[in-house]
A and B are shown apart, each in its own frame.
Chain A
Amino acid sequence: LAKTTQPISMDSYEGQEVNITCSHNNIATNDYITWYQQFPSQGPRFIIQGYKTKVTNEVASLFIPADRKSSTLSLPRVSLSDTAVYYCLVGDMDSSYKLIFGSGTRLLVRP
């Protein structure tokens, strides 16, 4: 399972765009990239998933370059409620679909 590297923490202000980059140099051909969000005292919550290029949903965008060795989660116009830990994971969709969590990035959004 590919290991990921993310910044430990980031600070931002309300209304700004936040970009969190994740490095996954050993990503395998069949691996997908998935981002989760976790609030204190809750389980992680799925944000977005992609394989290559760009994926966008109602809460975020995911940018994946052609070599797929990194990915960037983009949160547009963050609010205080976006303060959370964000995890980047890679894994393939085989029968087990094991996911390995790193330490994540702690995002603090200030007023």
Chain B
Amino acid sequence: NAGVTQTPKFQVLKTGQSMTLQCAQDMNHNSMYWYRQDPGMGLRLIYYSASEGTTDKGEVPNGYNVSRLNKREFSLRLESAAPSQTSVYFCAIRTHLQAQETQYFGPGTRLLVL
């Protein structure tokens, strides 16, 4: 997962607490994405940013906010965590791989909300 880093790797929160998940890329790509993946399920798009300074909602944006302050970083914030937000969160960037257009994923952040 070189090129896309996510912090923290694992986090436990109590209901109502807030936190920010960080994602950073060193590949100089414009588009960045946040997904969540619940156990046994596919990934669902939360928010994405097509370029620096722009953000748009994905499939499941409720309960989340994002910030794209610069080209390198795209953060995801939970203002008041709920148990339903227990999931694995993946950040991804749009990139070219093997001369094709694709998304490249970070290692993920595992979030447990009690």
> Which A residues contact B (CB, under 8 angstroms)?
32, 34, 41-46, 49, 57, 87, 93, 95-104
Contacts and interface: CB of A to CB of B under 8 A. Distances in A.
Contacts of A32: 101
Interface in B85-105: 90, 92, 94, 97-98, 100-105
A43 B92 contact: yes
Contact of B97 (A46, A99, A104): A46
Interface size on B, as a range, is: 20 to 34
Given A43-B105, A97-B103, 8 more contacts: A34-B100, A43-B92, A44-B90, A44-B103, A98-B58, A101-B42, A101-B44, A103-B42
Residues of A contacting B: mostly: loop
A102 B43 CA distance: 7
Contacts of A46: 97-98, 100, 102-104
The residue among A41, A87, A98, A100 with the most chain B CB atoms within 10 A of its own CB is A98
Interface in B1-58: 1, 31, 33, 35, 41-45, 48, 50-51, 56, 58
